[in-house]
């Protein structure tokens, strides 16, 4: 970047600052623009579609330059950050008018994908920044959301679990507290697609770090804090003390399982619609929406905690009218969790404080509605609804209800809040009438009938007197300006009024600004209470949402037994599929595991509903353990500690892994980590390799789970040879998807029944897919030969090819109809218009 040519002091200043931020776009404030130079300018011009110009155009080495207006900078920052880049903001630190030499500039903030607060998302999703540390025997992972102040840390055994956590958190940036290996870096950057940053120095803050943590956890949290403080360059009072958590405190699901179950987004489209999150989201607040995502992502394993949520949902269901009032009240609740962050950042404007006050004004109504329900399970919730009356009164008394969002334009502070401000306003309000009175007085004294007072920025207030009246100008008037046909005069009285009015206007604006900053600083003292209130309101919102979904879809409360060994789901439905299809079309299925049953081996044709049946069980478990009601007639479940899935086939193209390799890696992940309290779902395992290899591996995996793991397992397979395992494995039972076969036509009933399937029905599936009829007939002939055993499978099964019926029909057709042949030969194809071709075809069809 550096050049041997002599450069200006301003450019040298840019280069000196840029050295400290080599991995960020440096936006360098120069007057009304933020400028980019050198490589930053070239790259930004392409990304942001800016005009690329240059400084020192006449030099042998002109400097590339691109700029954006200061008033529209945020949209450009958002675009760069959203694409995974860092942006350093260098501001002018002194007034250019009074600066001696080069204006002092310094970076005031570095915005990164993990620290973006004003990013493009709508506030309904967390933006977590993750940090990782290791001592080579274990890992520590810490994460926080700068917009909400949430701050967590945990210890993990291996890097695979670390990557699962990063995926679950949907982090966009990871801060490495150590030098990662090439393999780790490749996984983070290429597979997880996160920005990798470095931080080797810790930040010591006893208020934020709980010293009950391990040394490794303290190290990772302190490095994450230091990265935040270094990039944001301000005290962040809204950051909450770090909370320790264990992944075993929640239902464990790896990233692949969450994706295959469509928990947060639809795996096929990547959209919210078609996911469990979409189904359950009837929340009314942004805080509730974020909490719902968290609950879905981290279902509970505590029986008492699950039952507490169920009890509140039942209370809401029992009080329809009160719940309707609660829903309406929640609509007036703003995102006070993020408002607290804006206060801490010094970015809160009058509108933000008014929204905070509006939310606080709704808290008594929320408490009243919950109290009217007269339920013991709500007492603790009601007690935590802090109305924060001191803050509400402060904002109500200080901020005008019609205050603008911009804090420099005045009209922010209410009358009566500050006596001095009120005096200024009296002067500004009454000054106009004082001017009018002075104008009337001087007109009468001078005898000039058309004498009037005007105003402009250059001359201020003045008496406008035409040349024809100059002889009547009073002695106490003094000339301010001369025009072609008139003169402008002033008086001491007018000058005094002008001074009072202009001073009042300027002083009023400055005082309002100072008063607003004081109110904002006082609001900052309540941040901890605001954050606690936000969590309580969010929890109430999520529970009312689950109640609404349960009522609208006729869900029932599941019975959950901590150490149970049985699964009984009567007429269960896959909640999301049912919602998409409609309840009238969906075929329910019961799922039963008695104490002795460990594995269900599922056989049946493709497209018949095996995968839906498996997902139904997994989704039922997730819904039950997050506290939701369930689509079924009745449900009895144990509490699972983990769900492992292998459903669907997808090559991992980025890392160059085949479908079969992915299958085996996920199978290995499941059988090594699962316990007897886990749930395993394997769909068509082994299909990615040769038949005998696939059968051998599938059987070995089933046997291993049966003998060594003991987890409840659904194992769907197209290898019918495996159904014989029921006779040798005590805890395995066969089930299959029922079919109806009449007159050679097969109907899949989508119902699971006991026993093995008798056929594959693969050709019937191909028929449904629309393959040509002659191809299907040919497949049936080959299948018959194979089933009869007339084909030697040691060599490729080559069955004689027969002449097709269509070919013989064509020969017979032309043999019998010389008239048709002559007609076709007579057609002049090269000179045929489209319309004429249609007519010819019509005539030929009639002839046939």
Cα angle 819, 820, 822 (rounded to 5 degrees) comes to 65
Measured CA distances, 578 to 274, 279, 637, 715 (Å): 10, 10, 21, 23
Closest CA to 614 of 583, 577, 651: 577
Asked whether the beta carbons of 629 and 635 are under 8 A apart, the reply is no
DSSP β-ladder status, 139-145 and 151-156: antiparallel
Neighbours of 247 (CB within 10 A): 18
Neighbours of 472 (CB within 10 A): 12
User: What's the rounded Cα separation, in Å, for the pair 346 and 335?
Assistant: 17
Residues making up the annotated binding site are: 604-611
For the record, the structure tokens of 766 come out as 């191909």
**Alpha-carbon Rg for the chain in angstroms:** 38
For the record, the structure tokens of 811 come out as 């020969």
> Please, which residues have CB within 8 angstroms of residue 137's CB and are 6 or more apart in sequence?
none
Judged by DSSP in three states, 800 sits in coil
User: What's the rounded Cα separation, in Å, for the pair 500 and 460?
Assistant: 12
User: What's the rounded Cα separation, in Å, for the pair 468 and 472?
Assistant: 9
Residue with tokens 């479908």: 659
User: What's the rounded Cα separation, in Å, for the pair 622 and 681?
Assistant: 14
User: What's the rounded Cα separation, in Å, for the pair 626 and 291?
Assistant: 11
Judged by DSSP in three states, 480 sits in strand
| Length of the chain (residues) | 848
Residue with tokens 């001491």: 492
Asked whether the beta carbons of 770 and 778 are under 8 A apart, the reply is no
Residues making up the annotated binding site for ATP are: 604-611
619-623 long-range CB contacts below 8 Å, 24 or more apart?
A: 619/261, 619/276, 619/574, 619/575, 619/576, 620/558, 620/569, 620/572, 620/575, 620/591, 621/251, 621/299, 621/679, 622/251, 622/253, 622/261, 622/263, 622/276, 622/296, 622/299, 623/276, 623/280, 623/575
User: What's the rounded Cα separation, in Å, for the pair 737 and 744?
Assistant: 18
User: What's the rounded Cα separation, in Å, for the pair 545 and 329?
Assistant: 14
Closest CA to 798 of 781, 821, 812: 781
**Any idea what DSSP says for residue 104?**
P
Number of helices (H) and strands (E) in the chain: give both, helices first.
Answer: 27, 27
SS (H, E, C) 368-434: HHHHHCCCHHHHHHHHCCCCCHHHHHHHHHHECCCCCCCCCCCCCECCCCCHHHHHHHHHHHHHHHH
């Amino acid at each position: 970047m550096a050049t041997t040519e002599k450069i200006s002091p301003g450019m040298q200043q840019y280069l000196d600052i840029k050295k400290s931020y080599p991995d960020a776009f440096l936006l360098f404030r120069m007057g009304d623009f933020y400028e980019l130079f050198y490589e930053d300018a070239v790259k930004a011009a392409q990304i942001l579609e800016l005009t690329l110009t240059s400084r020192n155009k006449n030099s042998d080495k002109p400097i590339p330059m691109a700029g954006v207006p200061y008033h529209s900078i945020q949209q450009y920052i958002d675009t760069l950050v959203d694409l995974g880049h860092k942006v350093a903001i260098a501001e002018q630190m002194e007034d250019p008018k009074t600066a001696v030499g080069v204006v002092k500039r310094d970076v005031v903030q570095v915005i990164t994908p993990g620290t973006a607060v004003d990013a493009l998302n709508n506030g309904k999703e967390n933006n977590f920044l993750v940090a990782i540390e290791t001592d080579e025997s274990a890992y520590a992972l810490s994460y926080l959301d700068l917009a909400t102040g949430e701050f967590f840390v945990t210890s993990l055994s291996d890097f695979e679990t670390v990557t699962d956590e990063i995926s679950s958190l949907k982090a966009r940036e990871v801060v490495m507290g150590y030098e990662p290996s090439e393999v780790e870096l490749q996984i983070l950057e290429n597979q997880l697609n996160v920005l990798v940053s470095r931080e080797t120095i810790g930040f010591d803050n006893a208020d934020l770090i709980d010293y009950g943590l391990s040394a490794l956890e303290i190290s990772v949290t302190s490095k994450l804090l230091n990265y935040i403080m270094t990039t944001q360059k301000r005290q962040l009072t809204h950051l909450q003390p770090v909370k320790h958590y264990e992944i075993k405190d929640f239902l464990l699901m790896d990233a692949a399982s969450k994706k295959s179950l469509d928990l947060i987004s639809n795996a096929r489209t990547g959209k919210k619609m078609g996911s469990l999150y979409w189904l359950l989201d009837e929340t009314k607040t942004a805080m509730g929406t974020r909490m719902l995502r968290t609950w879905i992502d981290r279902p509970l394993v505590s029986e008492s905690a699950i039952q507490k949520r169920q009890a509140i949902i039942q209370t809401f269901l029992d009080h329809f009218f009160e719940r309707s009032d609660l829903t309406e009240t929640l609509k007036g609740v703003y995102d006070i969790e993020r408002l607290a962050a804006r206060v801490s950042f010094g970015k809160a404007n009058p509108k933000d404080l008014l929204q905070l006050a509006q939310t606080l004004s709704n808290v008594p109504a929320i408490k009243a509605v919950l109290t009217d329900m007269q339920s013991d399970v709500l007492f603790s919730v009601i007690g935590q609804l802090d109305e924060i009356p001191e803050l509400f009164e402060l904002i109500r008394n200080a901020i005008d209800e019609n205050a603008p969002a911009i804090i420099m334009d005045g009209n922010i502070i209410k009358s009566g809040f500050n006596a001095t401000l009120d005096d200024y306003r009296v002067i500004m309000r009454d000054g106009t009438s004082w001017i009018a009175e002075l104008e009337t007085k001087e007109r009468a004294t001078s005898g000039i009938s058309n004498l009037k007072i005007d105003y402009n920025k250059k001359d201020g207030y003045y008496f406008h007197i035409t040349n024809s009246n100059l002889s009547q100008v009073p002695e106490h008037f003094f000339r301010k300006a001369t025009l072609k046909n008139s003169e402008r005069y002033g008086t001491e009285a007018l000058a005094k009024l002008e001074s009072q009015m202009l001073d009042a206007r300027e002083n009023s604006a400055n005082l309002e600004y100072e008063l607003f900053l004081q109110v904002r600083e006082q609001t900052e003292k309540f941040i901890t209470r605001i954050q606690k209130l936000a969590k309580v309101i969010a929890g109430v919102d999520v529970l009312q949402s689950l109640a609404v979904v349960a009522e609208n879809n006729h869900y029932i409360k599941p019975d959950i037994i901590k150490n149970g060994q049985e699964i009984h789901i009567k007429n269960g439905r896959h909640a999301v599929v049912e919602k998409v299809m409609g309840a009238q079309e969906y075929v329910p299925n019961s799922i039963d595991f008695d104490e002795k049953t460990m594995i269900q081996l599922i056989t049946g044709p493709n497209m018949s509903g095996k995968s839906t049946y498996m997902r139904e069980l997994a989704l039922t478990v997730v819904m039950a353990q997050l506290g939701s009601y369930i689509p079924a007639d009745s449900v009895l479940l144990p509490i699972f500690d983990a769900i492992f899935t292998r459903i669907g086939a997808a090559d991992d193209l980025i890392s160059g892994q085949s479908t079969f390799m992915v299958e085996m890696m996920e199978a290995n992940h499941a059988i090594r980590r699962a316990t007897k309290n886990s749930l395993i779902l394997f769909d068509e395992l082994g299909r990615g390799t040769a038949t005998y290899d696939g059968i051998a591996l599938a059987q070995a995996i089933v046997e291993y789970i049966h003998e060594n793991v003991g987890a409840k397992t659904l194992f769907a397979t197209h290898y019918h040879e495996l159904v014989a395992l029921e006779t040798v494995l005590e805890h395995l039972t066969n089930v299959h998807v029922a079919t109806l076969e009449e007159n050679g036509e097969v109907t899949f009933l989508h119902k699971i029944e006991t026993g093995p399937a008798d056929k594959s029905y693969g050709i019937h599936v191909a028929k449904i897919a629309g393959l040509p009829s002659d191809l299907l007939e040919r497949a049936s002939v080959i299948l018959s030969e194979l089933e009869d055993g007339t084909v030697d499978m040691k060599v490729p099964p080559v069955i004689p090819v027969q002449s097709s019926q269509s070919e013989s029909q064509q020969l017979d057709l032309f043999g019998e109809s010389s008239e048709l042949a002559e007609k076709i030969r007579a057609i002049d194809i090269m000179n045929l218009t489209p319309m004429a071709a249609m007519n010819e075809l019509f005539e030929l069809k009639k002839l046939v």
